[in-house]
Amino acid sequence: LRGKIIIFPQQSSNSHVKLLPNSFPELSAFTLCMRSATELTRNYAGFSYATPESDNQILLWVSGPRGFHLELTTAKAIFHLPESGSLHRHLCVSWESESGHVTLWVDGKRSLVKTAWQGQRVKGGGVVILGQDQDQVDGGFDAGQSFVGEVSQVNLWDRALGDREVAEVMRGCLCSGGNIIDWSTVDFETTGAVEIIDDPECEL
């Protein structure tokens, strides 16, 4: 998917992309980054990672144009986002088990630090879905929670990145990707009404 954008053109109960990393280990920390654009004003799932233990093992949930929360099983860290309208924005969120610290970056600007799910671990071996919220592993989709818009540059690391590293990630498509999910190399499967186009930001 290097240099590509995924488009979800319409609300759907089945359209999605499954990302297929080589492995997804148990995590005591992570940073997830992605670029997206949408005009949705309702709730939707930005990123869904489910395991048999929890359908919300990692869930990025957006509540209208300004609400955002990271859900880790039953724990939530809630943030308020600047409204972006039709504009693309770059989001990164990190979590560390030891401290429970959760940090959000929007277009490289860091939020205050919140605390959630201290001392816990994200289970490995699950399923990563873009475009839908999993209510069970690889299924249980609801059209009213589906994503409509564009998404690209989804990367996941097994550690919490710092401010400088997040800034480097945001600068463009030529940075190295995540060591768990690397947008440039990750295999994927598409289902339903999904389009893949060239990313103008990656054109040399």
The domain limits of the chain are 4-202
> H/E element holding 187?
strand 187-191
| Residue of 143, 38, 20, 31 whose CA lies nearest to 85 | 38
Note the pLDDT of residue 203. Answer: 63
**Per-residue pLDDT tens for 106-152?**
999 999 999 999 999 999 999 999 999 999 999 999 999 999 999 99
| CATH 2.60.120.200 is the classification of domain 4-202 | yes
Residue 65 has pLDDT above 90, yes or no: no
Q: What is the pTM of this model?
A: 0.96
**Per-residue pLDDT tens for 147-169?**
999 999 999 999 999 999 999 99
Note the pLDDT of residue 174. Answer: 52
What are the C-alpha distances in Å from 113 to residues 31, 36, 89, 174?
A: 14, 23, 20, 28
